[in-house]
Amino acid sequence: VLTLSSSTEVLLEGIKNGDRRMLSKAITLVESELERDHKQATNLLTRIIEERREKAQIDPQSVDTFRVGVTGPPGTGKSTFVETLGTNLCNEGHKVAVIAIDPSSRKTGGSVLGDRSRMVHLGAHENSFIRPSPSRGIAGGLSVHTSDQILLCEHAGYTHIIVETVGVGQTEVSVADVTDMFMLLISPGGGDVLQGIKKGVVEFADMIVVNKCDGDMIQRGKMIQYEYKNAIQLLGHQMGDWIPPVLTASSLMKIGIQDVWKKALEFKRHSQANGSFETRRETKRKNEFWKKLYEFLKMGLHRSEPTMDLIHKLEPMVEKGIISSRKASSDIVNQIFQYM
């Protein structure tokens, strides 16, 4: 595929003018590992941070956004849920960006089509932007660059960012690391309560939605709601004074989605009022900084010729058992930093 590179200025203007193609290009750019792209992405993000800080000084409301993570086991109806919720928000006049990450369908390469075909209404809405999982096949999907991509969407005027993922915890970066609110979607009919869903995931949740509560699943859904409510009472929440609500909904029949959103807004108001909204974002920025630093150190290592020379010299010696892997690694780090 031939991609014509655009200058940082062109990208920036395009993003601000709501040009989806430019936004897509920029999102691809921040994922790129090419040295040239890396520099441009850095410049672009620097400009965006500057512009957003200026905007915030003039009017803090103008940079107010809400990042919502939607996670749950495959087949619980996440895409259907995001389609219904996102379309509602778009119809209310909000601009909604969806970053959909689906590692299971990525394996077959069907992720792009899959997500698109599942979010037909939302995808066609003039207020939406849907970004299917990056197709580069990184395990897990979310990366240290996901929050940069969120920032790009926000600079393009999207005030509501929904990040949809299958799992949490298995990957380097989890959806809770990049969002303001973490919604766990579950569905009835999946055996025992808490089965298949790690306790840790429930502990992270700011809200739980029991989806597919329609037809003959209504009774069972209510039972599950009750049991999760009890589980949450026992687990508590990181934000002491917030009890994660457990709601029932049907994304397919469009029942209860408005209530889910009402609760989500309540969470936002609540966390903004007690200051945790901002402190959470600060903590997340800090954590991401460290993850990126490690990532870039690794990249730098592979790009440094003298380091790679030494690595190539030592690697076969480690292989043959001539020197210990510990000694070889220390020598390499020592050459770079002179401290070990």
Site string for ligand GDP, 172-211 (x = CB under 6 A): ---------------------------------------x
Binder among 95, 125, 155, 212 for ligand GDP (CB under 6 A) = 212
User: Would you say 8 or 76 has its CB closer to ligand GDP?
Assistant: 76
Q: Count interface residues toward ligand GDP (CB under 6 A).
A: 15
Q: Which of these segments, 72-80, 142-150, 234-242, 302-310, binds ligand GDP (CB under 6 A)?
A: 72-80
For the CB of residue 197, give the shortest distance to ligand GDP in the complex, in Å: 13
For the CB of residue 107, give the shortest distance to ligand GDP in the complex, in Å: 14
Q: Which of these segments, 78-86, 240-248, 256-264, 328-336, binds ligand GDP (CB under 6 A)?
A: 78-86
CB atoms within 10 A of CB 39: 11
Task: Assess contact for 314 and 332: CB atoms under 8 A.
Answer: yes
d(CA 49, CA 44): 9
Pick the closest to residue 138 from 101, 95, 113, 93 (CA basis). 101
| Position with the least CB separation from ligand GDP | 77
Helix (H/G/I), strand (E/B), else coil: 95: coil
Pick the closest to residue 206 from 186, 183, 224 (CA basis). 183
Residues between 101 and 120 with contacts to ligand GDP, criterion CB under 6 A: 118
The answer to the question of residue 95 lying near ligand GDP (CB under 6 A) is no
d(CA 113, CA 125): 17
The answer to the question of residue 79 lying near ligand GDP (CB under 6 A) is yes
The DSSP 8-state label assigned to residue 133 in this structure reads P
d(CA 132, CA 99): 6
Order the strands of the 160-165 sheet from edge to edge. Answer: 128-132, 96-100, 160-165, 66-71, 181-186, 207-210, 246-248
The answer to the question of residue 214 lying near ligand GDP (CB under 6 A) is yes
d(CA 81, CA 94): 17
Pick the closest to residue 184 from 217, 152, 206 (CA basis). 206
Q: Which of these segments, 68-76, 130-138, 154-162, 171-179, binds ligand GDP (CB under 6 A)?
A: 68-76
For the CB of residue 225, give the shortest distance to ligand GDP in the complex, in Å: 14
Helix H or strand E segment including 216: none
User: Would you say 114 or 244 has its CB closer to ligand GDP?
Assistant: 114
Binder among 251, 264, 267, 277 for ligand GDP (CB under 6 A) = 251
Helix (H/G/I), strand (E/B), else coil: 207: strand
Residues between 135 and 174 with contacts to ligand GDP, criterion CB under 6 A: none
User: Would you say 206 or 214 has its CB closer to ligand GDP?
Assistant: 214
User: Would you say 77 or 86 has its CB closer to ligand GDP?
Assistant: 77
- List of E strands, 213-257: 246-248
The answer to the question of residue 250 lying near ligand GDP (CB under 6 A) is yes
Helix (H/G/I), strand (E/B), else coil: 266: helix
Q: Which of these segments, 76-84, 154-162, 202-210, 319-327, binds ligand GDP (CB under 6 A)?
A: 76-84
For the CB of residue 163, give the shortest distance to ligand GDP in the complex, in Å: 13
Which tokens is 205 given? 């949740």
Binding site for ligand GDP (CB under 6 A): 72, 74-80, 118, 211-212, 214, 250-252
